[in-house]
A = this chain, B = another copy of it.
Amino acid sequence: MASGAGPEIERLMALLSKLPGLGPRSARRAALALLKKREQLLIPLTAAMQDAAERVTSCHICGALSTRDPCATCADPTRDAAMICVVEEDSALWAMERVGAFSGRYHVLGGLLSALDGVRPEDLRLSGLMQRVSSGGVEELVMALPATVEGQTTAHYIADRVKPLAPEVTITHLARGVPVGGELDWLDDGTIAHAFKSRR
């Protein structure tokens, strides 16, 4: 990306272009905005990123990204420990929390089983989930996984492992046909609330 901007600015542009949604052109625009808005944007964003790099970790219970371990959800005694909502990534957890329709706990798998991409059960946060389920007190496992092959394969795999381990646990799924494409995060809030209320 030779641009005449000098190696430091070019490095900034190259790294920005690795963010999802930013190509080379929008990375150049982002770099220019950062450099022109030094006090209002570059310095505060750098500080926020440094803070995140130093303090954000994964909750040892649910796997959610958080500056606290256990995370706020796992540590909150008012949240229903009998319900665990299983999501692929934190983005789905964030989407559910924005809606506010769910008052239980979460489990962030960190991915989905995929023969194509070589993602195996041991690559996901599955043993932790089995431990939570088998330790008792869980009544419902809400699968908020995408309606893709990978999402459904993962949901079936989890159900098959939970049944013998904790037959008393009910497994429900977010109403189908809604999260097509997989990105729960990309749905509007009303749709998620509906999908959650009509889970089966």
Task: Find the residue from A2, A32, A56 having the highest chain B CB count within 10 A.
Answer: A56
Partner of A3, one of B42, B68, B94: B94
Let me know if B53 and A94 touch, CB within 8 A: no
Q: For residue A67, give the distance in angstroms from its CB to the closest CB of chain B.
A: 5
Instruction: Report Cα–Cα, A103/B66, bound state, in Å.
Output: 51
Let me know if B53 and A42 touch, CB within 8 A: yes
Q: For residue A65, give the distance in angstroms from its CB to the closest CB of chain B.
A: 5
Task: Find the residue from A5, A6, A89 having the highest chain B CB count within 10 A.
Answer: A5
Size category of the A interface is: 35 or more
Residues of B within 8 A of A15 (CB): 41, 44-45, 48
Task: Find the residue from A29, A66, A96 having the highest chain B CB count within 10 A.
Answer: A29
Residues of B within 8 A of A89 (CB): 32
Residues of B within 8 A of A60 (CB): none
Instruction: Report Cα–Cα, A161/B168, bound state, in Å.
Output: 84
Kindly state whether residue A119 has any CB partner on chain B within 8 Å: no
Kindly state whether residue A177 has any CB partner on chain B within 8 Å: no
Let me know if B49 and A4 touch, CB within 8 A: no
Q: For residue A18, give the distance in angstroms from its CB to the closest CB of chain B.
A: 6
Instruction: Report Cα–Cα, A8/B55, bound state, in Å.
Output: 9
| Chain A positions 82-117 with a Cβ under 8 Å from a chain B Cβ | 89-91, 93-94, 96-98
Residues of B within 8 A of A53 (CB): 38, 42-43, 46
Instruction: Report Cα–Cα, A21/B2, bound state, in Å.
Output: 22
Kindly state whether residue A50 has any CB partner on chain B within 8 Å: yes
| Chain A positions 45-89 with a Cβ under 8 Å from a chain B Cβ | 45-46, 48-53, 55-56, 65-68, 71-73, 89
Q: List 5 A-B contacts (CB under 8 A).
A: A4-B94, A5-B90, A32-B65, A32-B90, A35-B65
